[in-house]
Structure 1
Amino acid sequence: MSRTTKRLACGAALVLGLTACGPVRQAATQAPARHPKSAEKEPQGLVTGPSSSALPVEARNIRLLRSGRSELALRFDLFNGAAKRISFGDLGLDDRERLLALVDPQRGTAYSPRVSEDTDIEPGQSAPLTAVFPAPPEDATELLVVADGLLPVMVPIEDGDPVPAGTEREGETGALVCATTGRTGATYRLPSDVLFKGDGATLSPAARAAIDALRERVTSTSGQVTVDGRHLSEQRAAAVNDALRESLGDDFTYRTAGHGGRAQNRRVDVTVASGENALGRRSDTTDLSDAGLVAEVASVRRLAGYVLASVKVTNPTAAPLALDYDNHYTPKELTTGQLSLAGEQARYDVCGFAEPTYFDFVGTLSQRFAPGKLGSLPPDASVTLWGLFPAPATSSVQVEIAGFADTLTADISPG
């Protein structure tokens, strides 16, 4: 199933972005130049900068506000540092594409929003954006905010006032589906928090969507499937096992292993032992490096049970170069610009969003790298490509970027 349209300055400051020196809590990387006509004051509050130097936007005064027990509002001022007018819709931050999400690394869940109406922003000006999401559990204290055109940023949760509905379309909660592959098969991590209805063993609609997403990622047609319920009851593990049997079919054999108890980060690990060795490179294309684009690791940092990896891609030439990136999952290979991590014994794929979402995985959301044109990086411009991965047990990884000939070595830093 194709879903191509679904869609981190070191120091004592106040931004958390994707930088080579790691998370910081005021100026973001690739901060937009101030337009000469700007009457805007200096940025206030939590700020994150643009993912591309050629698309100079900035999210300012970013806040996550609980609105009652059932909703969470994301609010920020979107600053336009470009020379031309832009709109929320130009970045997919409208109610049509909704290239905007919240991710809870502690629980392995993600949230899609309903978004305020599209608004035009003149050069050098800002406009307020409000997106309303389903509320995370009450003990959640911060979430990762991801938005097209901006660097991902961890934002604390505050108490707030009720917010207007904005649109009739409701936000949704889903599971992250993360794959670790080795010499004999793959293990898929599913978070348990959204898999079951209440305290029982009945699967939720989010679980069905997660299992559908897992099925898309299984490339073998036979083998042994093991459902390991980490800190879950055998009944819940068995429920997942039954749903997998229904989805994958009878050419696989199935077994369960439930571990009772209570723990944060409860999850289900589904291992598909097929005999396939998936430790090699996921992409043989070199078109990006052949064209002259240059890549370097910006950071690889732990976030709870995940790592957030980012690579800076630069066009040092005097002409625009194609970067036909696509946030779309393709079995057995990477799409252009997509990242993958590898250790000595395993390879780690970028975590996917299960339905309902508007893009396939938690990474760079689109190929908007410059105003008015898709899939192109202007001369002397750079873009940060990023992705969220299951955390390796190792202290360093090899970073592969589809389209580049060489892999890059990176140390994993603490979050």
Structure 2
Amino acid sequence: MRLSSTGDHRWHKLHHVLPLAAAALITTSCVSGGGEGGTRDGGGGEGGGSGSSSPNPEGGPLASSIASSTTLGSDLQLDVDSLERHGEDVALLKMTLVNNGEEDVKGTDILRYPSRMDGAPYSASGVSLIDTKNYQRYRPLMREGETNCLCNRWQDDHRRIEAGDSLDFWVAFPAPPEDVTELTVNTTVTPDMPAVPISEAEEVDQDIVDTPVDDPLILDLRSLQDDLDGDSSREESGEETSIMLSSDVLFEVDESKLTSDADAALKEVAEEIDASGAETVRIDGYTDDTGDDSINDPLSEDRAEEVRDRLEEYTERSGLKFETAGHGSSDPVANNDTEEGRQKNRRVTVTFEK
């Protein structure tokens, strides 16, 4: 299964796809361990950042992950110290970056997003929170009118972590809905840390809560899954399901009459529709780019209508509304320069709410 995030949410839409990774910024952080004057207070300095900590009752961090980057090796470790709600709008993540190796690591720029962005302070802007319950990714809050996130930023003397030392930092995010009790912590350099519990802060950090920020950036996540036989695939978000059926299975070449092999697949789709809360089912037909639009456009429409007729027959729920459209070759999902790509583009997609 592949996950991608598409821009869309709470206050505005952002139309692009992002990789599963992201993070944050504000005050001077402290290096602990063998560093000079190091502490593990999670921040401080301008703009607040002391917050309150609800440590793991069993001791140690809530979660840990080892860097998977080939350039960093396995000596860099990220610990989640706490994840707390500060008021209704802010979730505060506190983490520790630990150098377990025998050599110094230039570790304070590896968490940036995008890496080495011109003009931006060194920070943890490559960390994000993933809400698997609602299929959403939370990017760090951005200070109003700035390119800096609401999080620690590191000055020149803290851009390198000495062997055996660690770096504490914090990142502020938009708070998830009240019914979300755990989140996945995602970074640019480590595997995901799933099921990190979020708790209420014992003492709200008012300096962080009161900091003016831009509209929160919350991205919709969509999961993509291809069947092993290549005959179908599906895409899911928190609200709807799209099932993509290969036209090569549903129809003969250049034909719009369903084959006998189509029945089993369409019956399964009909069962999913019956089990969903959908009121409207959208059916879209597509072709590859061979031939011309005068043939492809009506062919894709005819195929969508044929699938609609069969689904109307197989679904048992009353009151369902079916909509169809033919798009010809206008919206490819793969490269038309290869036969494999053209096969993926010849499809009928059935979309409905969960």
Q: Please indicate, yes or no, whether the TM-score normalized by the shorter chain is above 0.5.
A: no
Where on the TM-score scale, by shorter chain, does this alignment land: which range?
Answer: 0.3 to 0.5
Higher strand share: 1
* TM-score normalised per structure 2: 0.45
